[in-house]
Amino acid sequence: MLAGQILFKNLFFYFITKHFNSTKMVKTNQSLLFMLSFLCIFLNKAVDSQNSDLIEMSQECKNSILRPSGETFHLTGKLQKFLDGLKDLANRTYSGDEMALQLVHKMKEAGAPYHMHMFPINMKILVKYYTWDSYDVWEFGELIEETKTVWLDLDAYVTQKKSKSKIK
């Protein structure tokens, strides 16, 4: 759950419990309207920031694959964080969130996710640097394949949605 969503939920319940039984319902409604307006702006910025974060994370993943550094968990952690963000973006897109759809278009225009354009990946470099065993190679492959599947499904959905809107 995004920090903005948690903040929204907490503030919403605070205002409801604090002001619902009040005789000053007009002021309460104005306060709620102001709060909702503020949170919409805040969430809009958070979602836009998430997209640029996904683009940056993808570049970091690509760089880490091409030039390994640190420990295995640094690389797999970056890949998992990107995958989680991509799944969240996909879920919001599938549920009809227009802002999420726009963010997918921005990612596509930027050529992201960058690390999905690296196939085939030269595993020898990674195996040698990280001294991976077969499990480590499998774990890395699973992260890459799941990311690829989520991205290709999302890309197909967005492309289909775009072609349907042109037909209408």
Q: What is the pLDDT of residue 33?
A: 54
Q: What is the pLDDT of residue 51?
A: 52
Q: What is the pLDDT of residue 119?
A: 87
Please indicate, yes or no, if residue 140 is contained in any of the structural domains. Answer: yes
Backbone angles phi, psi at 111, to 5 degrees: 85, 10
Please indicate, yes or no, if residue 31 is contained in any of the structural domains. Answer: no
Please indicate, yes or no, if residue 98 is contained in any of the structural domains. Answer: yes
Q: What is the pLDDT of residue 44?
A: 45
Rounded distance between C-alpha atoms, residue 41 and residue 31, angstroms: 16
Please indicate, yes or no, if residue 150 is contained in any of the structural domains. Answer: yes
Q: What is the pLDDT of residue 162?
A: 85
Q: What is each CA distance from 119 to 62, 100, 122, 149, in whole angstroms? A: 11, 27, 8, 14
| Token reading at 40 | 């919409």
Q: What is the pLDDT of residue 10?
A: 59
Q: What is the pLDDT of residue 12?
A: 59
> How many C-beta atoms surround the C-beta of residue 138 within 10 A?
11
Q: What is the pLDDT of residue 164?
A: 79
Please indicate, yes or no, if residue 21 is contained in any of the structural domains. Answer: no
Angle at which helix 134-167 crosses helix 72-94, to 10 degrees, equals 20
**Residue that has been written with the tokens 């640190």 in this structure:** 70
Please indicate, yes or no, if residue 145 is contained in any of the structural domains. Answer: yes
For residue 137, what are the domain limits? 47-167
Non-local CB neighbours of 102 within 8 Å, separated by 6+ positions: none
Please indicate, yes or no, if residue 3 is contained in any of the structural domains. Answer: no
Q: What is the pLDDT of residue 14?
A: 60
Q: What is the largest CA-CA distance in the chain?
A: 71
Q: What is the pLDDT of residue 163?
A: 81
Number of domains in the chain: 1
pTM: 0.70
Please indicate, yes or no, if residue 40 is contained in any of the structural domains. Answer: no
What are the mean pLDDT values of the chain's consecutive 10-residue runs (168 residues total)? Answer: 56 57 55 55 48 88 97 97 98 97 95 94 96 97 98 97 74
